[in-house]
Amino acid sequence: MTITFVGHGYVGIVTACVFADLGNTVYVIGRTPEKIKKLESGDPIIFEPGLQEVLKRNLLAKRIIFTTDYNVAIPSSEIIFLAVGTPPKENGEADLTSIFSVAKEISKHLGKHYSVISCKSTVPVGTNRKIKDIIEKNKPKNALFDVASCPEFLREGTAVNDTFFPDRVVVGSDSKRAIQMLLKLHKPLPGERIIVRLESAEIIKYASNSILSTKISFANLVSFLCEKTGADVEEVLDGVGLDKRIGRSFLFPGIGYGGSCFPKDVLALIKTGESLGIDMKLLIAVNDINQRARDNFIEKIISKTPSKNIGIWGLSFKPNTDDIRFAPSIYIIEKLLAHGYKIKAYDPQAMEHTKKELNHGIIFVRSAFDAVKDTDALIILTEWNEFKQINLHAIKDLMKTPVIIDGRNIYDPTTIKEIGFTYYAVGRQ
Ligand SMILES: NC(=O)c1ccc[n+]([C@@H]2O[C@H](COP(=O)([O-])OP(=O)(O)OC[C@H]3O[C@@H](n4cnc5c(N)ncnc54)[C@H](O)[C@@H]3O)[C@@H](O)[C@H]2O)c1
pLDDT tens, position by position, for the chain (429 residues)? 999 999 999 999 999 999 999 999 999 999 999 999 999 999 999 999 999 999 999 999 999 999 999 999 999 999 999 999 999 999 999 999 999 999 999 999 998 899 999 999 999 999 999 999 999 999 999 999 999 999 999 999 999 999 999 999 999 999 999 999 999 999 999 999 999 999 999 999 999 999 999 999 999 999 999 999 999 999 999 999 999 999 999 999 999 999 999 999 999 999 999 999 999 999 999 999 999 999 999 999 999 999 999 999 999 999 999 999 999 999 999 999 999 999 999 999 999 999 999 978 899 999 999 999 999 999 999 999 999 999 999 999 999 999 999 999 999 999 999 999 999 999 998
CA distance 264 to 99: 16
In angstroms, how far is the first alpha carbon of the chain from the final one?
57
Q: Minimal CA–CA distance to 160: which of 249, 252, 46?
A: 46
Is the C-beta atom of 314 inside 6 A of ligand 1? no
Number of the ligand 1 atom closest to the C-alpha atom of 265: 43
**Number of CB atoms found within 10 A of residue 200's CB:** 15
pTM: 0.96
Q: What pLDDT score was predicted for residue 112?
A: 87
Tell me which of 5, 10, 123 to substitute to probe ligand 1's pocket, judged by most ligand atoms within 8 Å of the beta carbon: 10
Calculate the dihedral angle through the C-alpha atoms of 310, 46, 255, 122, rounding to the nearest 10 degrees.
Answer: 160
Is the C-beta atom of 101 inside 6 A of ligand 1? yes
Q: What pLDDT score was predicted for residue 174?
A: 97
Number of the ligand 1 atom closest to the C-alpha atom of 98: 31
Is the C-beta atom of 11 inside 6 A of ligand 1? yes
CB 226 within 8 A of CB 232: yes
Q: Any idea what the Cα angle at residue 422 is, between residues 416 and 425, rounded to 5°?
A: 75
All structural domains of the chain, each given as residue ranges with its CATH number in brackets, are 2-196 (3.40.50.720), 212-424 (3.40.50.720)
Residue type, 189: L
Q: Is 261 an active-site residue? A: yes
If you measure from the C-alpha of residue 386 to the centroid of ligand 1, how many angstroms do you get, rounded to a whole number?
A: 29
Tell me which of 5, 11, 131, 150 to substitute to probe ligand 1's pocket, judged by most ligand atoms within 8 Å of the beta carbon: 11
If you measure from the C-alpha of residue 29 to the centroid of ligand 1, how many angstroms do you get, rounded to a whole number?
A: 12
Q: Minimal CA–CA distance to 28: which of 90, 82, 75?
A: 82
**Number of CB atoms found within 10 A of residue 224's CB:** 17
- 364-403 b/e (C-beta count within 10 Å ≥ 16 → b): bbeebbebbeebbbbbbbbbbeebeebebeebbebbebbb
Where helices occur in 242-380 by DSSP H, the ranges are 262-275, 281-304, 328-338, 351-357, 368-372
Is the C-beta atom of 8 inside 6 A of ligand 1? yes
* Residue of 17, 150, 226, 261 with catalytic role: 261
If you measure from the C-alpha of residue 366 to the centroid of ligand 1, how many angstroms do you get, rounded to a whole number?
A: 30
